[in-house]
Each structure stands twice: as C-alpha cells, then as structure tokens.
Amino acid sequence: MSEKTMNVFEIVQEQIRQGCETLGAEEAVYEILKQPKRFLQVNIPVRMDDGSVKVFDGYRSQHTDVLGPAKGGLRFHPIVDADEVKALSMWMTFKCAVVGLPYGGGKGAVCCNPKEMSPGEIERLARGFIRAVGNFIGPEVDIPAPDVYTNPQIMAWMVDEYSVLQQRNSFGVMTGKPLNIGGSLGRNTATGRGCVYTVREAAERIGLDLNNSTTVLQGFGNVGSFAGQFMQEEGSTLIAVREIDGAAYNPDGLDVNKLMEYRAEHGTVKGFPGSKDLSNDELMNLPCDILIPAALENQLTSRNAGGVKAKIVAEAANGPTTPEADRILHDKGILVIPDILSSAGGVTVSYFEWVQNLQHFYWTEQEVDERLERIIVDAFDSIYSMSKEHKVSMRNAAYLVAIDRVAQAMKARGWLG
C-alpha cells in the first residue's frame, strides 16, 4: 500500500507484522496484536451555553491487557477517527512494554474543538464522556491520562465524575491530575524530559557534543516546550520552532524561556522578535544536529525526509514518521529514536502516579526524575544493543524488544496454546 493511502492503523499493523517475523514469533502473536481487544464508540450529548444540545463522538480503545491494565491518553481534537485511536492504543502497548511497565495500551478521544468551547461546555463534555465509558475503565482496567488539548483540570473533572459513579474516591482511575488530588510531581515535564534523556544517550553513542549542537523543534506545546528547555540546559542551541500557525527561526539561537513567555502572551511563536517564519518542510530540512518532531502523526514523509540534515531525530510525538520516510532516514545514516522510546517519559511518570495513588504515599520530584532517568536509560541501552545485535534500525529494535516482552507474557499466561 502506498504512503498516500496507508493510514496510521495500517502502519502500526505493518510494524507489528515485521517485528513478529523477525523474532520468529508464533502466528497467534500477530493475530492477537493486530487489533485492539476492545473498542468502544459513544455519543455524548452536551448542553451548550446557548441552551442547545450538541452530540459529540467519543472513542476508547484497549489494545491488550496481557501485561496489565490499559494505559493511554485521552485527546479532545476536531480531527480524530476510530482508526487513529486504535493505532495510538497499539503504539501505547509497545511504549509501555519497551520501558518495562505493567500495562497494555489504551487511547481515547472526543471529536470536538475545545478552542471554540467555554470552560463550562468542556467540563460538561468531560463528565459526559466518563458517564458514557464509566463501566469500561478503572484503576485495574484502563487508566486514561491527558493528551492533545486535555489537561489536569479536565482529568480532575473526570476523576470526580468517576468517583461519583463509584460512590467513593477513586483517584487512581486517571493520571496527569492536579497535585492536590493525587497528581505526581514531575508529571508535567516527564515526556519532554524523557525525550532529552534519549537524545543525550544517542549523542554519546555517535560522538555528538551536545554543548556544540543545534536543535530544531516541530511543536511547542507541553512536550515540545519542555524538550526545548531541557535541550537548552544540556547546552544545545535551539534555532527553530514551528507550530501549526507559523514558526520562529533564528540561526544564531532562540531563548527557550523567552519564547515560552512570548507564546503564552501571543498564542503563537510566529513573530517572535529576531526570528523569521518557515514552512513545515523548510523547518524539517534545516541544517541541525537534532530534530525533535513533537506535534502530530505523519509529519516526516517521503516528501521531506530526503532533505533532513539532522544527525538525530527524536520522536517526541506519536507516529510522526511514515514507514517510507523511516527507510529514507535510515538509509541516510540518521539515528532515529522511535516514538515508543523517545516519548515514553510521560507514561512512565503516569505509572509512578498510579503507584503512588494505590499506595497513598507520594514521592519528591527528585525521586520521580531519578527513577524516570534510570528507566529511560536502561530502555535505551536494551534497544541500542538489540539494534546492533540484529543490525536493524532503532525503531525495529524497539519493536523487537517490546513484542518479545508481550509475547513472553502471552506464553506464560497460556494464550498461545
């Protein structure tokens, strides 16, 4: 199937198939993993501020529970469909497995545009979603978390609604919550921090001095902004950032903290003093050492991958690189840190939050960051070693590690006969 017609669901199915073939896994492993175990679609009626009732489509996918309960984000976004949610839940399975978390993959979405909704409408939508899926989730079943256009406040409303349904507090049903109702220190920065840990390890392997390096970011939301901040702390110079509505490019460098302040005030990075705008392809093809896609799926394609000049591509977003683009980058000798590793910091600290909720004992931010670093570095080492052993890309190696762990659990539980 061509790149133009292949959707993200078919992409992840192909990644699973290739991994199973390389491992020589039983055919049943692929057959079990190629589809979510459960998928729910719901309609959510919401009373809008003008008195009308609008019905929103909602989804929740649970890929597998062989390693533990489903875990994954819940996004509010105007462009979302069932295949995308299924694919993202499948990527979450391997993201959890590759860092050794006792979870299967989950993902959810509501098709809406929160930028055009009032806080009251968003709250009613959030609570309506929980009423629709309340029997489908739980601390030992499926644990959602923030994703695109959702945040700790939305998680708090959802936790409250779920607790009302259960007639008892159940903080462990969601992660990414506010600190005062069971959230974890370090959760807000975790995905960006984890990404930078992987960049640091990759740079060491290829002999790149981060103190004399340049970084380009695509996406400057929670993940991208913190990744930029931590890269700056590592000594790298951020030269360009792009969001959906424009870019800020300065070859002499951008001050991340000032850029964050500018974006908070103006709602965009475009127009940042001393910078110029760039198209998306121009950004992707800038001369730099590290390229961090931190936005949405399918951003690096066969159209722009050939012009990528970075030495390291760290996928802080889910599925930002198409299979054809991945082959192009690999043939160019670019070290691609796959999303299931590079963006695993968020789910790792979500796991920490869940553990803290279950034991009612909370850790310091330093403890959280130290545990995160240890898990991400160990995972990078495993994948890098697998890559060298099998002479495959880091992405293929990550799937080999993850699928092997899932398959071993299937075998132990007697799923494979």
CB distance 333 to 308 below 8 Å: no
Distance CA 111, CA 414 (A): 38
Distance CA 188, CA 181 (A): 15
Q: Which residues pair with 293 in a beta bridge?
A: 218
Amino acid, res. 197: Y
For 322, residues 6+ apart whose C-beta sits below 8 A from its C-beta are 3, 6, 11, 298, 300, 301, 302
Distance CA 301, CA 312 (A): 16
Torsions phi, psi for 34 (to 5 deg):
-75, -10
Distance CA 349, CA 179 (A): 13
Report how far apart, in Å, the C-alpha atoms of 47 and of each of 125, 239, 376 are: 9, 45, 44
Among residues 107, 177, 270, 311, the one annotated as catalytic is 107
- Residue 181 is given by DSSP the state G
CB distance 196 to 207 below 8 Å: no
Residue with tokens 């050492």, as numbered in its chain: 289
Count Cβ atoms within 10 A of the Cβ of residue 268 and give its class: 0-12 exposed, 13-18 middle, 19 or more buried. middle
The whole-angstrom distance between residue 358's C-alpha and the CA centroid of its chain comes to 24
- Report CA torsion sign: 277, 280, 284, 285: negative
CB distance 288 to 282 below 8 Å: no
| 86 carries an active-site annotation | no
- Residue 215 is given by DSSP the state E
The whole-angstrom distance between residue 360's C-alpha and the CA centroid of its chain comes to 27
Distance CA 391, CA 218 (A): 29
Active site residue ranges:
107
